[in-house]
Structure 1
């Protein structure tokens, strides 16, 4: 298979690129040149937001393209139009954020989605991803695959969610652990996302797929205990009621990454129907493996996680944590 990877040097793009190389695919990576791509790829440079930014893609043919773009949908539109007739299939890594909020528990890919346009410029994340979907479908039709990923964790993470927990717990001491401790967590290991996406390309799948683990794949307790065990920490996990955390002004998901209190947002994020993806072969590794491999990667790069410049840093300030623990 000849794969064109748009991106391919960070997190999701890198995992897909490495997965394709492991299968013996011929991989071309189109990127801005800010980071080195994996060895063994053909590297093309360009900036999709700049004038003549797609010039390097003017020639060439591929069996499939994978696009992780999360900015202006018009960039997906322009790329898809340029590649029309030279690429057999277009896989767009989208997001569950395209669904209208709140999404009813148990609904799958048929749930209502937000408005979006392939011609949009700078719009919010949900509209950008929906516009990207429409851009891919508008050119490639039933040759397009929409991968609606949920929370993504694993090695190469450049958002900082799992790395923050690992680093914080490795420091030891009393750690604010948000309850309920047995609340289920849904997420997708980036490598499992890569495996499924490449399999889907080989199978010729098309249309939207929710890509995340089954509800309750792990729990908050198992997640944090895995961080403690992996780091060898003597941390004392102080389980704290959601009400007390919220009263202290601590923001779910950002101050305490991956955590959401019970309620409408939790139900929307943690009760995703993934029957369609499971029926096509989605397999998700245990949380202990995701945590251990992410810690190993963190140690290999010096213990400091990379941070995407277009995303805010996550994590709870030490003084705010201490205030709640001492209160």
Structure 2
């Protein structure tokens, strides 16, 4: 395909660009060009997406078989790109989020769960859920059945700039006794960024549209398996000390919030790790083993160092202050 990636250098966008190149697609990216150089073989266009005139000039009269948009903030930016490319792109894939569903999420929810309100014309980036929903609305309005809304769950794997697995790998690297958010058998639901990228590209190629909950199978992995496997693939010598959720709550620690096991106030959320993903798997989604995700994430961190965190990502100290960890480890 001739593919346009709106983004292309961070996390999901980088995985999409690199996966497309591996497939043999002709890849164009559009971003500010301020962070990392484009992947070899990419045609890089430069523009600040918040500047409509700059985007219009950079894209010129180009035409593409498919567009994949990774924008995560004000929906008016998605609205401009979607309308600008109407008639010049055969498919529009939008990296959305399960966050577009109204809270609290029902257990076992699928794509039909209630949605938040969104405004495609909004310039508000503060309300993530409303921003993503606004983007969904305009992409669907412009492209109809040619629009793919990939409502991703927790996205892990190489290039992660939210700080979940990179933070855990760095903590395990230090060794010793490591506080872990219990219970160890708590289920996790996630998707490797490269699996999300490959699936979106296959959907673009096959003309698959619609809204999909794009994450792994529910109850396929536990937090205990995640952290134990991380120790196995890295060879770190650390002892996991499991702290009950009630004890973490009593201590005012939000450890586990980074993996969606609990909310910042310490309560346990519903529907976070048991989404119904039958539709996405029926549409060709496949997932790789947890071991591969963790080993490749560690290899990336060793090769490139820690990523610059996303501006909207919480500080790691939000999850676990080192002094608080040692205090609780002594109690345990």
User: When the two structures are superposed, what TM-score results if normalisation uses the length of structure 1?
Assistant: 0.95
**Pairwise CA distance, 1:127:** 0.2
Give distance in 1, aligned partners of 2:193 and 2:283. 17
Q: Distance in 1 between matches of 2:174 and 2:62?
A: 50
Instruction: Specify the SS of the correspondent of 1:277.
Output: helix
CA contact under 8 A between 1:4 and 1:29: conserved in structure 2?
A: yes
Query: Do structure 1's residue 24 and structure 2's residue 28 form an aligned pair?
Result: no
Q: CA separation in 2, counterparts of 1:173 and 1:107?
A: 39
Instruction: Report whether the alignment pairs 1:40 with 2:44.
Output: no
Q: Is the 8 A contact 2:4 2:28 kept in 1?
A: yes
Going from structure 1 to structure 2, the CA distance change for 1:264 and 1:113 (only over 3 Å counts) comes to farther
1:193 and 2:193 matched: no
* TM norm structure 2: 0.94
Structure 1 unaligned blocks of 5 or more: none
Give a deviation string over 1:28-73, Cα, whole Å, max 9, x none. Answer: 0001001211110101000011252312012200000000101110
Matched, 1:285 2:258: no
How big is each residue's C-alpha offset from its partner over 1:181-217, in whole Å with a ceiling of 9 and x where there is no partner?
Answer: 0111100000010111111111211110000001112
Match 2:89 to one of 87, 90, 106: 87
Question: Residue 310 of structure 1: CA displacement?
Answer: 3.1
**Structure 2 match to 1:234:** 237
2-structure distance, mates of 1:279, 1:324: 45
Q: Secondary structure at the match of 1:62?
A: coil
Asked if structure 2 preserves the Cα contact closer than 8 Å seen for 1:28 and 1:42, the reply is yes
SS of 1:267's equivalent in the other structure is: coil
Q: Distance in 1 between matches of 2:288 and 2:5?
A: 24
- Matched residue SS, 1:266: coil
What SS does structure 2 have at the residue aligned with 1:269? coil
Whole-Å separation in 1 of the counterparts to 2:14 and 2:175:
31
Instruction: Give 3-state SS (helix, strand or coil) of 2:241's partner.
Output: strand
Deviation at 1:232, TM superposition (A): 1.2
Identify the residue that residue 303 of structure 2 maps to in structure 1: 300
The CA RMSD measured in Å over matched residues stands at: 1.5
Kept after mapping to 2: 8 A contact 1:160/1:306: no
When the two structures are aligned, how many residues end up with a matched partner? Answer: 324
Instruction: List gaps (5 residues or longer) in structure 2.
Output: none
CA distance in 2, matches of 1:95, 1:217: 20
Deviation at 1:252, TM superposition (A): 4.5
SS in 1 for 2:113: coil
Match of 1:131 in 2: 134
Given the alignment of the two structures, is residue 319 of structure 1 paired with residue 323 of structure 2, yes or no?
A: yes
Contact 1:94 1:129 in 2 (8 A): yes
Structure 1 residue 102 and structure 2 residue 104: aligned? yes
Match of 2:65, SS state, is strand
Q: Matched residues in 1 for 2:54 and 2:95: separation?
A: 21
- Report the counterpart of residue 72 of structure 1 in structure 2: 74
